[in-house]
Structures are given as C-alpha cells and as structure tokens.
Amino acid sequence: MAATRTRLVVVGGDAGGMTAASQAHRLAGDELEVVAFERGAFTSYSACGIPYWVAGDVGEPDDLVARSPDEHRRRGIDVRLRTEVTGIDVDRREVTAYDQAEGREYTEPFDKLVVATGAAPARPPVPGVDSDGVFGVQTLDDGYALLAALDDRAPRRAVVIGGGYIGVEMAEAMLRHGLDVTLVDRAPQPMTTLDPDMGAQLRDAMTGLGIDVVTDTAVEGIETAGGWVSAVVAGGTTYPADLVVLGTGVRPATALARDAGLRLGDSGAIRTDLRMTVAGQDDIWAAGDCVESFDRVSQSWTHVPLGTHANKQGRVAGTNIGGGYATFPGIVRTAVSKVCDLEIGRTGLREKDATAAGFEYVVAKVDSTTRAGYFPGARPITVKVLAEIGSGRLLGVQIVGREGAAKRIDTCALALWNEMTVGELSMVDLSYAPPFSPVWDPVLIAARKAADIVASS
C-alpha cells in the first residue's frame, strides 16, 4: 500500500506563495503534494514592474512573469487559477475555495498551509472611489485594464491619488502617454518614505517635468459623468480627470487570516516567527506582503510590502516545510525608485522613525556629484545620514540624485545591517575612478560629516 503523501496548500500564487511552494517541493520531492490557489490569471510575476510596463519601458506583460502556471505544473505543483480561497478552517485542516470559471465552491484538505495573500490597494474612503475609470495598480489584470482605458478612451487628463512609490511612478507613466497629470497627496511632500526635506527635491523634479503636484491636500470625492470618472475633488478644488490612478499604498490582505483566528500584529499583518511559521501554529506558514517583518534598527515589527522580502520569506518558509532549516533575519527598510532621471534610495530610519524608536540622533546632509566633478556626465546627488548620539551608530540614509545615485544606498544598507558607526562607514574602502565617483564618494562624505557632528555633540 502506497504511503500517504503530505499535502501542502498554498493560498496566493505570487512571489511569497510560489517561492515557498517551489522550494518545499524541490526539497521534499514526491513526498509532498502541493496545491496552489491563485484568484488571478498569473503566477510569480513582478508587481513592481507594472508601472514600467504601463509606461512602455517593458514591452510585454509576459516579461514580468518569472514562472508561468504551466511551468509550475510541469514541476509538479497543482496550480489552480481564477480560484479564490474564501475560508480557512484551522481545526478541520481545510480551506474553502471558489472556482470562478465553474461557479462552484469546494473544500480542499491540507496537512501544511502557506498563507501568501499579499496586499491590497488602500482605497481612500471617499464617494466615487469605486467608479469606472478609477484604477489600482496591484496585479497584471490591473495593468491590462489601465492600458485598455488608455487605448479605448484616449484620455487627456489623469489624476494620481497618493505620492508613494506607485503614485510617483504612475504619474510618470501617465505623463509619458501624453496626458496632463495632477498628483494629489495628503502629505507635505511626495514619497513619505523619505523625510520631507528630501521629498521636496522629488517634488521639484516632478514639477519640472510638468506634473502638477498638490500636497497637504486630502481627496474629498471623485465625480463621474456618463458612468465614467470626470473629476477629483480635493481641498475644495475640482481637478478634471479622464481617468484616476490610485497610488495610496497598500494594506496587508489578511481578512482570511483574521477570520481563521491566526495572529495578527499591530500593523494588521500576520505575525510569524523567524522560520515564517505563524505564531501559535506549527503547520501554518505565511510569507510576502501579508506578513510583518522585524526591523533590525528600531527593534520593532513593521509592515513593509516589497518583493525582495516576499521572495526571501517564501524561500525560508519553503525550506522549513521541505524538511530543511532556515530563518528570516529581518529588514532595514531598503528601497529604491525613480521618476524619469531622478533616482531615490533609502534605508533604515527616517527622522520620525528614529524619534518614535527613542533614539537621540544627529543629521548630516551633503550635496555632491555622482562622478568626479570634472568628468563628463557628473550629476548632482544629495545624501542624508542619521546617526545615534554617543555611539555614532548609523541609523538611516536617504539619497536623491540623478543617474548613478540610487544604488549607492546598498552600501549604506550593508553598513546598517552590520550595525556600523558613521565613523567606520566614512573609512570603508570603496572603489574610485572618475567615471564612477569623486575620490571621496558622497556616502563617505556624509558619513564623515555625521561622525564629526557626533564627536562634537
């Protein structure tokens, strides 16, 4: 009599879920039966790449797909598309799923479970937000819908609500489609992952491109005409719009987990241990944008939805499910983005984060160039450094500049990860040649300036 195989059910077919499924199946082989549910039509795709596809930098949506459903199936994973898990019964060890194509509901048993339900666009609670012509940008289906509207309706004016990563990237994408673009954000400056003084540089750059950036302004409603969006009302002003794009960030999609009694953290995302096991559940794991991550600098739990974290967390979960051992050691909130040729990088804590964590700190900010000042193509770069008073420990770095600026943040992230002081960072042996940096790299200059302030404080 054949041995009964262990059944792994995965809820969510993108980065966290399918990385966990693939890694677990690779390690456990035929001893593990894997069923993966995905409510959309795609698996393992780069949601971060959608703005670049919409803008035209990426030619085909297939270019954003790392592994198709058929590729997963050929590797032994039973992928079920257009099938939404609507309930998890922890006691009965089963999930309830709804097959959209067949219009039927059924249950599927599991021995082990991965919850990788991702995040959902944060829709402002205002009248008209669900109107036709209002688009989120979270899935490939969202991208298809937006591109179809651009082709079919030939819009002239777009309003982007929200100035986070997706908001500023989509503002550029709409501009490149030839639309007049207004970006409305309730924050003092766009990109609130930066301090306001650094965000102001982003605002200036966007304004210089012809984008109307409206800040410190809350959206009050979205108007329609003839069944389609016609305007956004914000701060008492009406901004005409032929389409609206939501760039208001995301929230962890954890309704299933909450209803199943799984533990959530203060952010509303799922709380796991280092092995990505859901707190209090031996055979249930979670990964990706639906989970909290531990911030190594502030020593606190936070929700930071990024594909880098999702892939690592999925691999850790899959390794443990497949019989190996792995842990996810946390994050330092590193991220990069761009608007046209303006590059943005950040890692660690902003000033308000450092204050909330109880740090006393100093700030150093320098303006420099991406190459030796005399070398053709040298472009401006601003580096801002936060360091703890007394110890001089690096707490956070923000970089805004032109070509060649943003990826310098990785040096800072590595220093932050290893709890280096700004004095130590200022003397790191970085490479130098005039086409790549000044003899003192801007990161080293900012670190040295911070170290001097710490020494005199």
- Of 164, 162, 175, the residue nearest 340 (C-alpha): 175
**What are the residues whose beta carbons fall under 8 Å from the beta carbon of 418, sequence distance 6 or more?**
none
| DSSP per position, 77-92 | EEEETTEEEEEEETTT
Catalytic residue among 48, 290, 340, 412: 48
Residue by residue, pLDDT tens for the chain (457 residues) are 345 899 999 999 999 999 999 999 999 999 999 999 999 999 999 989 999 999 999 988 889 999 999 999 999 999 999 999 999 999 999 999 999 999 999 999 999 999 999 998 888 899 999 999 999 998 899 999 999 999 999 999 999 999 999 999 999 999 999 999 999 999 999 999 999 999 999 999 999 999 999 999 999 999 999 999 999 999 999 999 999 999 988 999 999 999 999 999 999 999 999 999 998 999 999 999 999 999 999 999 999 999 999 999 999 999 999 999 999 999 999 999 998 889 999 999 999 999 999 999 999 999 999 999 999 999 999 999 999 999 999 999 999 999 999 999 999 999 999 999 999 999 999 999 999 999 999 999 999 999 999 999 8
Cβ-in-10-Å burial (0-12, 13-18, 19+) of 373 comes to exposed
48 belongs to the catalytic site = yes
Read off the DSSP letter of residue 312: H
Read off the DSSP letter of residue 5: P
Helical H runs in 177-276? Answer: 196-208, 255-259
Q: Which helix (H) or strand (E) holds 307?
A: helix 307-321
